[in-house]
Amino acid sequence: MHKTKNLYLVLFLAIIFKIDLVKSEDNIINPNRNFFKVVDGDTIHIMGKRYRLHGIDAPEATQKCERNDKIYFCGTEATEHLKSLIKNEKKVWCKKKAVDRYKRIVAVCYYNKKNLNKLMVRNGWAIAYQKYSKDYVDDENYARKNKLGMWEGRFIEPYKWREKNR
Measured between alpha carbons, how far is 159 from 166 in angstroms, rounded to an integer? Answer: 11
Is 52 one of the annotated active-site residues of the chain?
Answer: yes
Catalytic residue among 25, 33, 50, 52: 52
CA nearest to 39, candidates 63, 60, 65: 60
Report which secondary-structure segment, H or E, holds 83.
Answer: helix 74-85
Catalytic residue among 77, 104, 122, 140: 104
Instruction: Give SS3 for 100.
Output: coil
DSSP state of 35: G
Q: Is there a contact between 92 and 30 (Cβ–Cβ < 8 Å)?
A: yes
Is 154 one of the annotated active-site residues of the chain?
Answer: no
Sequence-ordered list of residues with C-beta below 8 angstroms from that of 10, at least 6 positions apart, any chain: none
Type of residue found at 97: K
Is 60 one of the annotated active-site residues of the chain?
Answer: yes
Measured between alpha carbons, how far is 77 from 56 in angstroms, rounded to an integer? Answer: 16
Catalytic residue among 60, 77, 89, 140: 60
Length of the chain: 166
- Cite the active site residues: 52, 60, 104
